Amino acid sequence: MAGKIHIFSLICVIISAFSLNVKAGTGVGTAGAQFLKIGPGARVEGMGSAFCAIANDVTAVYWNPAGIGQLEGFNLSNTHTYWIADTRFNYLALTTPMDSMNGTLGMSLTLLTMPEMQITTYQKPDGTGLYYDAQDSAVSIAYSREVSTNSDNKKLFLGMNAKYIHQKIHHESAKGIGIDLGTLYHTGWKGLRIGITFSNFGPEMRFTGAGLRTDVSTFSSASDSKDEPIAITTKRSAELDTLAFSLPSSFRFGIAFDAIKSSTEVLTFAIDSHHPSDNTEKIHLGIEYAYKNIGSIRAGYKLRLGSRKDENGKSISLATEDPEGISLGLGYKTRLSTTEMNFDYAFTNFGRLQQTHRVTLGLSF
């Protein structure tokens, strides 16, 4: 089994190195269901979303489903995010060990909402008096189990997360299914962990609904009793055809290690290499310092890779144009009887899009 573990580690490194050489810009802007790319968890965001190889809280259902196999007892977490353009993002997740399934079961609910907006038309640009709204949601179920490694220090977890996706705008909607696969390996050497995830793989989605149905008038001619030509108008029902769009699939490779680990303090560094199908690659850097398992401070940075040519042929780094960059976070834990409660906050600067604030409340029994 030890030989298999070493082979697994080698494959992880090879895949990561190969992915870094993927040409930047391939598939930019080609996927829909973009709300699936909004990561939950104030703790994770405070670390710049470098969490693939850590995945040791309930938000691992999203970040790396293999990680929920590390959790003990019943865990519940709710994240509320003040997102861009007055939208609100909510993520609820729970995990619990299942002895009958020899693993850990997880579930999650994702919801992105927006305020109502007034419908405008060409004839009435100031509004028709009618309103519409939009909403994106996803429900998922995850499973993870530990694969025996014949070692107390080395651990290998495998996990999967299946999700049902629904998007709605006014009277139109789109439905789909996505799959996440993840692995997490504890090497047993100085707290070094390696994680891999493949996210949002599934069939294409397409919008349908009553708002796409319309009456089409067709014109033809005929002759009357005096053989005089007359025009005939016929109304037929039709439905506008929409383009299918793919899910925002991605590959993520992460490494994490504890630079300091004692009974009173833990200092963790993490780095993720993220390769989405619909944008250029990113590097996520994160650091977390926890004191006596009570208070935590975090910092992270997201770096966009690649470059583009401007109108003069000059090369411009995409990192300078990416609205995301530095993120900061705080965490606090307390225990009430047999229940552990944690509160996390994260701040991210989106440049011209202003800032986002994430708040997460978690319970462990």
Q: Encode pLDDT of 311-340 as tens digits.
A: 777 877 776 667 778 899 999 999 888 889
Whether 160 and 65 have beta carbons less than 8 Å apart is answered as yes
* Residue 23 pLDDT greater than 60, yes or no: no
What whole-number distance in Å separates Cα of residue 78 and Cα of residue 108?
A: 10
* Residue 270 pLDDT greater than 70, yes or no: yes
What whole-number distance in Å separates Cα of residue 99 and Cα of residue 115?
A: 43
On the 0-12 / 13-18 / 19+ scale of CB atoms within 10 A, 64 is buried
* Residue 27 pLDDT greater than 70, yes or no: no
Whether 159 and 108 have beta carbons less than 8 Å apart is answered as no
Terminus-to-terminus CA distance in the chain, angstroms?
34
CA neighbor of 320 nearest in space, from 336, 338, 305: 305
In the chain, the domains with their CATH numbers are 2-210+241-364 (2.40.160.40)
Give me the pLDDT at residue 7, please.
46
Range with the largest mean pLDDT of 302-306, 312-316, 328-332, 352-356:
328-332
Q: Which residues pair with 218 in a beta bridge?
A: 234
Q: Encode pLDDT of 189-217 as tens digits.
A: 888 999 999 999 999 999 988 878 777 66
Quickly state the pLDDT bin for 25 (edges 50, 70, 90). very low
